[in-house]
């Protein structure tokens, strides 16, 4: 596309040294035959059992005091022997098995990280039937490849894909997952060219509200959809149905499936809302400032917990950062101190508790919605200095909240 190319050259002046491509993931629905579903179920089963075995082995090493030194390579080196002993594992592509061991390694590293930071983490858990949903071909082209709308998976077969959008960039990893309504494939792609939008010359600050989802420094309000609360009644009902049935029975599994579908719907509605809101902001502004919030700490506060989790603020920020990066825009985090206390008119610090929803300044007489005042402060703080941290580019790593 020569047009896009010209565009990015023009944008390059403005965004300077920033990257011209991003990493992204494309998801597509699979349309497997019943036989292929069985084959994928088998792979999942084998992967899960390998995961649990590898975890068990690490546990033994840990008991002997070797736990910390144990590496992925030690376990990966034992794979050929394992295959010789249990021919079942030969049904699974070898790189998929290696990826399972990498997952164990990752879980373990996270576990030790929490130990060293003084937290009291639970030991990594063994994965039950309903907790292991995906397997990964770590190298595109090695066991998994797409050709004309058909995904060819080694040891499974050729599965048609619902290609609702074009894959761009260079596919790196292929993950197959089972979710409530079927099977999906996701391609993690590198070097996906960004599609910069023309400059608008505008910038804003945004603040998360309690009653509204967010408010901009221009006073624009995005209301909270509260999908979760609306759907909660339905979810509760589905949950009750699960708990009434005999665990592990056919009817129980059916109820679990129905419940999972309800959760999935809420999740999708929420993500759709996030994407649309982020897109609107990214189209309107060159730079968006937001508060560098520790969402994890806020969720621990029980009064706010519901609202914050509902709004999925952290998930939204990840999406916003990614969309901004894609469009050649900037999302910057500014320090979160006193943004709701200070007066955006004169800078006077006006202390107020969370229940006070309106900012009233005794020195300049400014009367304004609390969150709008905060959004204006965030914008001013972003404009003022280099203290802002560019969120785009590292947003996913920094902002993903474990609570959401
Ligand atoms: Zn004032």
Confidence of residue 43 (pLDDT cuts 50, 70, 90): very high
Q: How far apart are CA 247 and CA 142, in angstroms?
A: 39
Confidence of residue 4 (pLDDT cuts 50, 70, 90): very low
Among candidate residues 99, 291, 310, 325, the one labeled active-site is 291
Cβ–Cβ under 8 Å, residues 242 and 256 = yes
Comparing 9-18, 153-162, 283-292, the range with the smallest average pLDDT is: 9-18
User: In which residue are the tokens 């098995």 written?
Assistant: 97
Tokens of 252: 């129980």
CA of 360 to the centre of ligand 1 (A): 8
Alpha-helical (H) ranges within 285-400 are 295-300, 302-311, 313-326, 370-384, 395-399
User: Other C-beta atoms within 10 Å of 75: how many?
Assistant: 22
The distance of Cα 227 from the centroid of its chain, to the nearest Å, equals: 18
Determine whether 147 is an active site residue.
Answer: no
Confidence of residue 9 (pLDDT cuts 50, 70, 90): very low
pLDDT at 307 over 70: no
Tens-place pLDDT, residues 380-396: 988 886 544 555 433 33
Q: How far apart are CA 346 and CA 368, in angstroms?
A: 13
CA of 359 to the centre of ligand 1 (A): 9
pLDDT for the residue numbered 311: 60
Q: How far apart are CA 340 and CA 350, in angstroms?
A: 9
Percent of the chain clearing pLDDT 70 (strictly above): 84
CA of 363 to the centre of ligand 1 (A): 5
Write down the mean pLDDT value for the chain. Answer: 82
CA of 202 to the centre of ligand 1 (A): 25
Tens-place pLDDT, residues 262-301: 888 888 888 899 999 999 999 999 999 988 766 555 555 5
Determine whether 88 is an active site residue.
Answer: no
Confidence of residue 305 (pLDDT cuts 50, 70, 90): low
Tens-place pLDDT, residues 365-382: 999 998 899 999 999 988
* 262-266 contact pairs (CB < 8 A, 24+): 262/231, 262/234, 262/235, 262/238, 263/180, 263/235, 264/179, 264/180, 264/181, 265/231, 266/227, 266/228, 266/231, 266/235
CA of 304 to the centre of ligand 1 (A): 27
Q: How far apart are CA 262 and CA 267, in angstroms?
A: 9
Q: How far apart are CA 364 and CA 351, in angstroms?
A: 15
Confidence of residue 400 (pLDDT cuts 50, 70, 90): very low
Tokens of 221: 């309000």
Claim: this prediction has a pTM higher than 0.75: yes
CA of 98 to the centre of ligand 1 (A): 61
CA of 340 to the centre of ligand 1 (A): 12
Among candidate residues 207, 325, 342, 372, the one labeled active-site is 207
pLDDT for the residue numbered 278: 95
pLDDT at 36 over 90: yes
Task: Return the beta strands (E) in 228-355 as ranges.
Answer: 287-291, 330-334
The crossing angle, in degrees rounded to 10, of helices 250-284 and 313-326 is: 50
pLDDT at 227 over 90: no
Determine whether 191 is an active site residue.
Answer: no
């Amino acid at each position: 596309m020569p047009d896009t190319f010209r565009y990015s050259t023009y944008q390059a002046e403005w965004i300077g040294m920033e990257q011209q491509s991003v990493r992204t993931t494309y998801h597509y629905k699979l349309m497997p035959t019943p036989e292929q579903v069985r084959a994928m179920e088998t792979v999942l089963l084998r992967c899960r059992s390998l995961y649990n075995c590898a975890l068990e082995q690490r546990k033994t090493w840990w008991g002997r005091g070797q736990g910390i030194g144990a590496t992925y390579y030690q376990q990966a080196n034992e794979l050929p022997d394992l295959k010789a002993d249990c021919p079942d594992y030969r049904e699974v592509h070898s790189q998929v098995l290696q990826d399972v061991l990498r997952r164990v390694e990752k879980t373990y590293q996270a576990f030790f990280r929490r130990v060293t930071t003084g937290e009291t983490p639970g030991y990594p858990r063994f994965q039950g039937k309903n907790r292991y949903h995906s397997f990964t071909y770590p190298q595109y082209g090695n066991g998994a490849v797409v050709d004309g709308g058909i995904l060819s998976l080694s040891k499974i077969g050729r599965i048609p894909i619902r290609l609702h959008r074009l894959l761009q960039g260079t596919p790196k990893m292929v993950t197959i997952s089972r979710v409530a309504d079927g099977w999906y494939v996701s391609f993690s792609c590198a070097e996906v060219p960004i599609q910069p939008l023309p400059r608008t010359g505008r910038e804003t600050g945004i603040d998360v509200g309690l009653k509204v989802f967010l408010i901009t420094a221009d006073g624009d309000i995005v209301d909270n959809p509260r999908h979760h609360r609306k759907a909660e009644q339905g979810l509760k009902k589905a949950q009750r149905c699960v708990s009434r049935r005999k665990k592990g029975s056919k009817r129980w599994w059916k109820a679990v499936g129905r419940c999972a579908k309800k959760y999935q719907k809420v999740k999708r509605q929420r993500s759709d809302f996030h994407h649309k809101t982020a897109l609107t902001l990214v189209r309107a502004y060159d730079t968006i400032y937001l508060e560098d919030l520790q969402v994890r700490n806020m969720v621990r506060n029980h009064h706010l917990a519901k609202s914050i989790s509902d709004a999925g603020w952290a998930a939204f920020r990840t999406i916003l950062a990614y969309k901004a990066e894609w469009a050649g825009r900037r999302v910057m985090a500014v320090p979160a101190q006193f943004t709701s206390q200070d007066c955006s008119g004169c800078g006077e610090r006006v202390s107020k508790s969370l229940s006070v929803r309106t900012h009233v300044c005794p020195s300049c007489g400014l009367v304004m919605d609390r969150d709008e005042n905060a959004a204006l402060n965030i914008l001013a703080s972003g404009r003022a200095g280099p203290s802002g941290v560019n969120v785009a580019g590292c947003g996913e790593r920094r902002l993903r909240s474990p609570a959401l």
